[in-house]
Structure 1
Amino acid sequence: MVQQYQSPVRVYKHPFALVMMAYERRFPTCPQIPVFVGCEIMLDEESENGAIRTTERRCKLNVEAPYILKKIIGVDFVYFIQRNVLDRRNNVLEIEAYNESFATRVTVIEKCRYFIHPENAEWTCFEQTASLDIKNFFGFENSMEKLAMKQYAQNIAKGKEIIEFFINELKEEGITYVSPWKDQQEGSSEEEKKNVVENNELYSDKELCNADSKLPSNREMQLSSDYIERYLGKLDMMQESKLVQLRHSIEELRGSSVPGYATLLRFLRATEFSVEKAREMLTQSLHWRKKHQIDKLLDEYEMPQVIKEYFPGGWHHFDKDGRPLYILRLGQMDVKGLLKSIGEDELLLLSLHICEEGLHLMEDATTVWGHPVSQWTLLIDLEGLNMRHLWRPGIKALLRIIEIVEANYPETMGRVLIIRAPRCFPILWTLISTFINENTRKKFIFYCGTDYQEQGSGGLSEYINQEFIPEFLGGSSETYIMEGGVVPKNLYKVDLEGTSGEHEHSLYHSISLSRGQTHHVSIESNDPGAVLTWDFDVMRHNVVFTVLHKSQNSENGAISEIPELAIGGDHEVVAAKELKDNYVKVEPSIVCHDGESIQGTHIMQDTGTYILQWQNQEDQTEFLPSISSHKAQLMYFYETLPSAHYRGSMMSLQSAISGRSEASSSLSR
């Protein structure tokens, strides 16, 4: 198995030239890295004008391994080749290292890069990637893999400290500034020299500068170690690497529409830092958010009057860790009355609205407290809970809410405080606990009777500051949470037995395609120049997407322009023969892969019938039948925009196809 590592960007708040001088002091030996015994220079050459310096070193490393293992492999040292290319003109140092020892059994490749910070010319960035592949190592493959990654992690942790150590050493010697490299062979006019001086003064006076106009590269800044510490919390080396890998993986599928790092980290933690599992879970969640327009929930949600008057829950200050605190007086809630007056879907919407509020409050708390806040605390007061709360439709609604929240808001719950639990609570807990993620279950803290009133360790005051404990729990803090109570029957509107339980407040249509099946949507257009737009997510398997148009003069000739189509199943809107005989492609077919989000447009220059077609990629030809029976699943939305609204801007619309769509198109040609 190949072990991969990819670092976040580490920032040295020192100019590039000074960092390079400090870097050179790591050779030929470096006491701060004991395993680095020494090195010999095999190549050291510069270009004619000195802009490029290439250095190759043969590095000697001590093998940190148990004595018996050293005896078995027969060596105390291993050798690596390191090749450095310093581009002084563009202020970039590229480093590549690979193992010379045991090269047929083990492959180790490390690549590093120093470069100027894209937003601050006085700072230097560093990033690295590495891969370890142990193919055959005397039967000690697993042991060597663990040993190598442990040693590598220790060296990476020391890396930044070492550069800072040598920079401080230079300062003690009186070296605080190193002049940037200049090409001595190129003459400069007085005006050019004046511009250089002015630019250098600008970099010195301003901490931040515009990368596009003043730096050799407009490289977008990636995740930095400083950002991790400030906004995400302490992560070890491999956790940082997994976070970077997940970000890149989601970017490949969704282009620029990628969630923030805090969200990515939550899904990684929920899957024990498995990039593949986190990617799958997050992709499904993003599909769900898009289908149900969750991003608009905070702005567009209108709370029903029944909720305002009878729902006993709300946000209330913070806990001692700075987490937003939500209080739910479940024992005072008329579950049956709420469900019969607003229905299960509306109760779910309320729960999702609370979760979305929690995400925003956590972001605000991170800013206010100056340390990462990635979870919120839930306090559930069960006083008044009785057997009426165990009403079957109410339990069903609760389980559905738990299932959806667990899948789409993982690792947002930091602590759940259950207080004043009555005798019937164990029955309720038995019913719902199996549906709660194990990691979340561990965060539940239970209080029976008046245990929560104990001062210090063991009571609520251990987790919530005394001044924030609500009045109804014996504290002094006023709350603005409704007391609940019985919902009047004259407000009942919903026949629970007749509800489907499906939450379908969505503009998107969902379809499933078996092998060989296609799905067609027919659009009639009598408006030359109108714009047809589409937006769809592939949630499972691969599909081929095509846009067709009915030719006005295609009685017999158009079929020669249409490639053979694998049309089958019962999903098509138009007959297969008519589609072949009378329709031509107006957009090239693209293969859309599992997880991709595709957006595109087509200018309907001609009137007539247009067809959007999705086809299960399997069984594309009768000569190569597929042995798989996987169904393809997708959700889609389409819209026709009148030509009057877009005259003069057709080209910009036509080019608005996503990058992933274009990439898929190129693969399918």
Structure 2
Amino acid sequence: MVQKYQSPVRVYKHPFELVMAAYERRFPTCHLIPMFVASDVISEEKSDDDSTHRIERRCKLDIDAPRLLKRIAGVDYVYFVQKNTLNRRERTLHIESHNETFSNRVIIHEQCCYSVHPENEGWTCFEQSASLDIKSFFGFESTVEKIAMKQYANSIKKGKEIIEYYLHELEDEGTTHVPRWSPRPASPVKPVTPNTHSTTLPTMPAVALPATPDDKLDADYINRYLGDLTPLQESCLIRLRSWLQETHKGKIPKDQHILRFLRARDFNLDKARETLCQSLTWRKQHQVDYLLDTWTSPQVLLDYYTGGWHHHDRDGRPLYILRLGQMDTKGLVRALGEESLLRHVLSINEEGLRRCEENTKVFGRPISCWTCLVDLEGLNMRHLWRPGVKALLRIIEVVEANYPETLGRLLILRAPRVFPVLWTLVSPFIDENTRKKFLIYAGNDYQGPGGLLDYIDREIIPDFLGGECMCEVPEGGLVPKSLYRTPEELENDDIRLWTETIYQSASVFKGAPHELLIEIIDASSVITWDFDVCKGDVIFNIYHSKRAPAPPKKDPLGAHGITSPGGNNVQLIDKSWQLGQDYSMVESPLTCKEGESVQGSHVTRWPGFYILQWKFHSMPACAATNLPRVDDVLATLQVSSHKCKVMYYTEVLGSEDFRYTAPFYTPVIHTGYHEISTVALR
């Protein structure tokens, strides 16, 4: 199995030429790299104008491996071949290395690159990536993989330290500037005699990264906004981010959001990708990105929901206080319904994410989660009312799936005797990693050693917990029965809340595509679409016909009628129709894989009827085995599946009104499948 590793872009805030001078100081030996033993120069060549310098070395490494493994393998040292290409004209240094020892059993390939920062020519970027393929190794494949991972992690950390060490050494010697290369009279190329005393170090396993338009992957950025990550964790973040960039056409969540899902799955890339894609689809379907702007809490929640934000804890995390014991859960459920309560809790989580971002800026360190303080005084058997517990379990399920690693600590105070019963009911639905963050205090002994004061400053302890800080959390109380609603009213409200979405779902079967009819009255209109492939692979087509495939029901909303004759799967193109005669294709077919999010638009040339079609895409059985594991989560399952599912939204706009914004993601527009910036339309 091929393992891939990718480090973030490291930024040296020094010019390229000065960094190269520091890099050269690592040769012929480097006391900072004890694992490096020696090297032989295999070949060396310079261009006529000295702008290009190529050198190939055979490097000898004393790998930190168990002595027993070395004896079984029959070697004491490992040899690598390293090829360096320095281009002084373009100001780049490309480094490629691969293992020579055991190359028939283990293949290690690394690529590194030093280049000028794309936004600041006085800075230098370093990019490093690697692949490791262990075919066989005397039955020690797992051990060898762990050793390689350890060496790679040490190499990444040590590599930057070494360059910085020599940069400081140059500065101490008074060298703070190295002139750039400039053309000089050419001279014949002369082969250089190998120098057996010259040494270098392959920086251990890695595959070159594309240039990034900013320094968001810089180590300083990671430490400042994301926290301490191991090199392998950084690699997982960057690889998942790149995968989302490709499949979601530029519409990707923030690094902090991606990182939460990776942490929740212990940095298992496939599991994190699957759950993140499901959550992104859920967010889009229910328009969660707009929740803080669109959701208005009913007055009964403002009066009787006993929760609210209250300053922050000692770690700078936003602090949320919930007086659960004082909450009339039955009254709230009877007055609002389960889904309204869920919407309110989701708005709390969205507000928590926003406050984490604000506190990250205020405190100058990454804050990605919040602390929740739950006061259980007053909790009794009425809180175990079955519909109320059902609503609570539903809320826990949704929050666990879509807001992983957002709870930093849960302080449960004044837990009464009935609490173990409630805990037995809800704890199986809470992730094990989340349960580890729970601290439970029975009775009133919660302010002593190891208690509340260890986590919250004394001056912000609420008055109802014996502190002096006034807390604006409602005191709760019983919800008046006059506010109760009938089951029919609550059911209608629940349906309204979760069907008020601009997205529709459709099934696509093998031999039965789903088709959507759009009638265009005025030419030069713009048909826009936004769809997610929730299951399977599909082919997306757009057709035009002068006549309707079937008598459509006109949409009464206006001239641009979008018609869909109901049902989860709709077929409109009659089998007797011939392509090129009865209807024509107006865009090239687009193959979309499971998990992809596609946005696009088409400027209509003629009035008439346009048909958007999602068609089942059959993948050859042999194709699944050739796909990189990192690029297809469930590729092998698609061969036997005969059903796909898409979630889509379409809209018809006048060309002068064509705009697109997406506040949760990077704003992107696709015109005829081609991506353009929103700036170009303003």
TM-score bracket, shorter-length normalisation:
0.7 to 0.9
Give the Cα separation in 2 of the matches to 1:398 and 1:255: 36
Q: Is the 8 A contact 2:599 2:669 kept in 1?
A: no
CA deviations on 1:91-127 (whole Å, 9 max, x unpaired) are: 1111001111221111111111111222322221111
Q: 2:652 aligns with which of 640, 644, 649?
A: 640
Deviations 1:434-490 (A, max 9, x none): 111111011111111102132xx2211111111111000001111111111111122
What code does the residue aligned with 1:583 have? Y
Residue of structure 1 in register with 2:147 after alignment: 147
Q: Deviations over 1:401-450 (max 9, x none)?
A: 11111111110000111111122211111111111111101111111110
Pair 379,658 (structure 1): closer, same or farther in 2 beyond 3 Å: farther
1:210: which partner in 2? none
**Is 1:476 aligned to residue 471 of structure 2?**
no
Q: Which of residues 232, 252, 256 in structure 1 aligns to 2:250? A: 256
Offset from partner CA, 1:145-198 (integer Å, 9 cap, x none): 212221232222211111111122223333222112222359xxxxxxxxxxxx
Structure-2 separation of matches of 1:645 and 1:540:
33
- Does the 8 Å CA contact 2:538/2:617 hold for their aligned counterparts? yes
Q: Note if 1:462 corresponds to 2:460.
A: no
Q: Do structure 1's residue 184 and structure 2's residue 176 form an aligned pair? A: no
Q: Quick check: 2:43–2:55 contact (8 Å CA) kept in 1?
A: yes
On the 8 A contact 1:28/1:40 being kept in 2, the answer is no
* SS of 1:223 mapped into structure 2: coil
Residues 284-328 of structure 1, C-alpha deviations (whole Å, 9 max, x = no match):
111111111111111222121111111111000111111100001
Q: CA RMSD in A?
A: 2.6
SS across alignment from 1:461:
helix
Q: Give the stretch that moved more between structures: 499-508 or 517-526.
A: 499-508
Cα distance in structure 1, aligned partners of 2:107 and 2:165:
31
Provide closer, same or farther for how the CA distance between residues 411 and 654 of structure 1 changes in structure 2, counting only shifts above 3 A.
closer
State the secondary structure of the residue aligned to 2:348: helix
Corresponding residue of 1:100: 100
- Which AA in structure 2 matches 1:540? K
Determine if the alignment matches structure 1 residue 279 to structure 2 residue 276: no
1:322/1:654 CA distance change after superposition, 3 Å: closer
Distance 1:575 1:139, change over 3 A: closer
Q: Give 3-state SS (helix, strand or coil) of 1:150's partner.
A: helix
Unaligned runs of 5+ in 2: 187-210, 550-566, 621-637, 660-667, 677-682
Are the aligned partners of 1:255 and 1:658 in contact in 2 as well (CA < 8 Å)?
Answer: no
Partner in structure 2 of residue 166 of structure 1: 166
The offset of 1:254, in angstroms, is 1.1
Q: Distance in 2 between matches of 1:139 and 1:178?
A: 51
Are the counterparts in 2 of residues 105 and 136 from structure 1 also a CA contact under 8 Å? yes
**Structure 2 CA distance for aligned equivalents of residues 570 and 295 of structure 1:** 26
Distance 1:90 1:426 in 2: 68
Match of 1:574 in 2: 572
> Aligned partners of 1:363 and 1:236: how far apart in 2?
22
CA contact (8 A) 1:603 1:654 kept: no
SS in structure 2 of the partner of residue 512 of structure 1: strand
**Any idea what SS the aligned residue of 1:3 has?**
strand
Report if aligned partners of 1:289, 1:295 keep a CA contact under 8 Å in 2.
Answer: yes
The one-letter code matched in structure 1 to 2:282 is: W
Match of 1:268, SS?
Answer: helix
Aligned to 1:41: 41
Aligned counterparts, 1:311-330, within 5 A: 311-330=305-324
Q: The residue matched to 2:415 in structure 1 has which SS? A: coil
Secondary structure, aligned partner of 2:246: helix
More helix by share: 1
What CA distance in whole angstroms lies between the structure 1 residues aligned with 2:121 and 2:609?
A: 57
Question: Do the aligned residues in 2 keep the contact of 1:528 with 1:643 (CA within 8 Å)?
Answer: no
Partner of 2:531: 536
Shift of 1:347: 1.1
With over 3 angstroms needed to count, the CA separation of the structure-2 counterparts of 1:19 and 1:388, relative to structure 1, is: same
- Name the residue aligned to 1:591: 591
Q: How does 1:599-614 map to 2 (within 5 A)?
A: 599-614=599-614
Distance across 2 between alignment mates of 1:79 and 1:386? 70
Shift of 1:513: 2.9
**SS of residue matched to 2:123:** strand
Alpha carbons of 1:384 and 1:496: their partners in 2 closer, same or farther (altered >3 Å)? Answer: farther
Q: Which residue of 2 aligns with 1:656?
A: 671
Q: Secondary structure at the match of 1:447?
A: strand
Q: How does 1:129-528 map to 2 (within 5 A)?
A: 129-185=129-185, 219-454=213-448, 457-495=449-487, 499=491, 503-528=498-523
CA drift of 1:585 comes to 2.3
**What letter matches 2:541 in structure 1?**
T
Change (3 A) 1:266 1:85: same
Percentage of identical aligned residues = 53
Cα distance 1:291–1:657, how it changes in 2: closer, same or farther (>3 A)? farther
How many Å separate the matches in 1 of 2:381 and 2:24? Answer: 74
Secondary structure of 1:588's counterpart equals coil
Q: Contact (CA 8 Å) 2:55, 2:83: kept in 1 or not?
A: yes
CA deviation after TM superposition for structure 1 residue 660, in Å = 8.0
Deviation at 1:498, TM superposition (A): 6.0
1-side partners of 2:263 and 2:670: how far apart? Answer: 38
Unmatched segments (≥5 aa) in structure 1: 187-216, 555-568, 621-625, 648-652, 662-669
One-letter identity of the residue aligned with 2:610? Y
Contact 2:602/2:672 (8 A) holds in 1? no
Q: Show the counterpart of 1:628.
A: 640
Assess, with a 3 A threshold, how the Cα gap between structure 1 residues 643 and 367 changes in structure 2: closer, same or farther: closer
Q: Distance in 2 between matches of 1:281 and 1:552?
A: 43
Residues 230, 370 of structure 1: 8 Å contact kept: yes
Sort the Cα spacing of 1:218 and 1:260 in 2 relative to 1 into closer, same or farther, 3 A. closer
Q: Is the 8 A contact 1:596 1:660 kept in 2?
A: no
SS at match of 1:93: strand
- The amino acid of 2:521's aligned partner reads N
Q: How far off its partner does 1:642 sit?
A: 4.0
**CA displacement at 1:69 relative to structure 2:** 2.3
Aligned pair in 2 of structure 1 residues 599, 494: CA closer, same or farther (>3 Å)? Answer: farther
Q: How many aligned positions are there?
A: 606
Is the Cα contact below 8 Å between 1:27 and 1:39 reproduced in 2?
A: no
User: What does 1:20-99 align with in structure 2 at a 5 Å threshold?
Assistant: 20-99=20-99
- For 1:38 and 1:282, locate their aligned partners in 2 and report how far apart those are by CA, in whole Å: 46
* Structure 1 residues 375-411: Cα deviation after superposition (integer angstroms, max 9, x where no partner): 1011111111122211122111111111111111110
Judge conservation of contact 2:548–2:609 (CA < 8 Å) in 1.
no
Partners of 2:592 and 2:128 in 1: how far apart? 32
Structure 2 residue identity aligned to 1:68: L
TM-score norm. by structure 2 comes to 0.84
Report the alpha carbon displacement of residue 553 of structure 1 after superposing the two structures with TM.
12
Partners of 1:496 and 1:266 in 2: how far apart? 39
Asked if the contact 1:253/1:660 (under 8 Å) is kept, the reply is no
Give TM-score scaled by structure 1 length: 0.86
